[in-house]
Amino acid sequence: MIRGASLLAVWPVRVPGGQGRAWFSVAVTDDELLAVVHETVDAVVASFDGHDDWGLSGGRDGQYAADLVADSAALFVLQNAGLAVLSEESGRSGDADLVAVLDPLDGSTNASRPLPWFATSICVVDGDQPRVAVVHDHASGVRWDAITGGGARVDGALLPRRAPVPLNEAIVAINALPSRNPGWGQFRCFGAAALDLCAVADGRFDAYVDYDVDALGPWDYLGGMLICQETGAEVADAFDRPLVTLDHAARRTPVAGGGEAFTALLAARRSESDR
């Protein structure tokens, strides 16, 4: 994979006089697109150098100053590469066909504590299909990426496809709490869906279930979803809605895993009453 590659080295671009804005002038390959997403994440990492305000921004409920710092750094790279953006923090910008779905800082409450489970997640969507994704764990520095049909990697190493485990042996990551134990071995609730899903992909968790109702936007799960899928895991909305959406107001209830455990957890989540 390519990290830190110059955007201008990846694409021939034109910049209108005085505008400082670049756009794609050639067909974009998956590898080129992934390189730009890695550069975007590198920019977010750099934006935290010397950053010491981990408190609330005052802009809206639950928004932190670090969310805005990360968003600004990511937007600069993505927009100047000619991508449209759907960001949790700043909404939709641009009208390009390729849309970067961005969570600048997933788990920002964890970051404010500090609890070491927070990430930047980006998934580029083309039409109604994800193309590439990158999730970066800011606490550990570990980075996952995926290309649709091209597998998923962690720090450049290809992730193997994993055999599913029985539900009663599974360690399941969750968001919120179920009304009853669905039969898992153990559960964990860490507070950053992007990292939870990556942990399913690399085998630290066996499944993921969102037990909240319409709490997660597409930026929360799309990056981790593609990484999971490229390791053979199944990912579905508990209520049969399409997970790939570019509606900023849309919320979904993802469930991820494999084999009998995934089937059982999906059925159990669907049987939960609204909470």
Whether 241 maps to a domain, the answer reads yes
* Backbone region of residue 56 per phi and psi (left: phi > 0; alpha: psi in -120 to 50; beta: other values): beta
143 with 172, same domain: the answer is no
Please tell me whether the overall predicted TM-score, pTM, comes out greater than 0.85 for this model. Answer: yes
The mean pLDDT value of the chain amounts to 90
| Domain identity same for 200 and 138 | no
pLDDT tens, residue by residue, 217-275:
999 999 999 999 999 999 999 999 999 999 999 999 999 999 999 999 999 999 986 54
**Which of 105, 132, 158 is the last residue in one of the domains?**
158
Question: Is there a contact between 92 and 84 (Cβ–Cβ < 8 Å)?
Answer: yes
DSSP state at residue 17: T
Is the domain of 143 the same as that of 178? Answer: no
**Integer Cα distance of 181 and 201 in angstroms:** 23
User: Is residue 1 assigned to a domain?
Assistant: no
| Co-location of 140 and 190 in the same domain | no
Number of domains in the chain: 2
Q: Which two tokens stand for residue 81?
A: 């590469």
Q: How far apart are CA 41 and CA 46, in angstroms?
A: 9
pLDDT tens readout for residues 186-209: 999 999 999 999 999 999 999 999
Instruction: Give the pLDDT confidence score for residue 10 in this predicted structure.
Output: 43
Cα–Cα distance measured from residue 191 to residue 120, given in angstroms and rounded to the nearest whole number: 13
Residue 89 inside a domain? The answer is yes
Which CATH number characterizes residue 113's domain? 3.30.540.10
- pLDDT band at 27; cut points 50, 70, 90: low
Across 48-71, average pLDDT: 82
Domain carrying residue 188:
167-271
Q: Are residues 24 and 82 in the same domain?
A: yes
Same domain, 152 and 222: no
**Which of 105, 128, 158 lies at the terminal end of a domain, its last residue?**
158
The reply to whether 57 falls in a domain is yes
Give residue 57's pLDDT.
Answer: 64
Same domain, residue pair 18 and 110:
yes
Quote the DSSP letter at residue 252: B
Whether residues 173 and 122 share a domain: the answer is no
Residues 34 and 120 in one domain: yes
CA distance 205 to 199: 5
In a shared domain, residues 61 and 146:
yes
pLDDT greater than 80 at residue 26: no
Residue type, 224: G
Q: What is the mean pLDDT of residues 47-69?
A: 81
Question: Any idea what the CATH number is for the domain that residue 178 is in?
Answer: 3.40.190.80
How far apart are the C-alpha atoms of 227 and 99, rounded to whole Å?
A: 17
**Higher-pLDDT residue of 151, 63:** 151
Same domain, 174 and 234: yes
153 and 176 in a common domain: no
Q: Is residue 2 part of a domain?
A: no
Confidence of residue 55 (pLDDT cuts 50, 70, 90): low
- Residue 151's Cβ-side half-sphere holds a number of Cα atoms within 13 Å equal to 10
User: What is the pLDDT at residue 60?
Assistant: 78
Q: What is the pLDDT of residue 268?
A: 97
Q: Which of 131, 158, 185 is the last residue of a domain?
A: 158
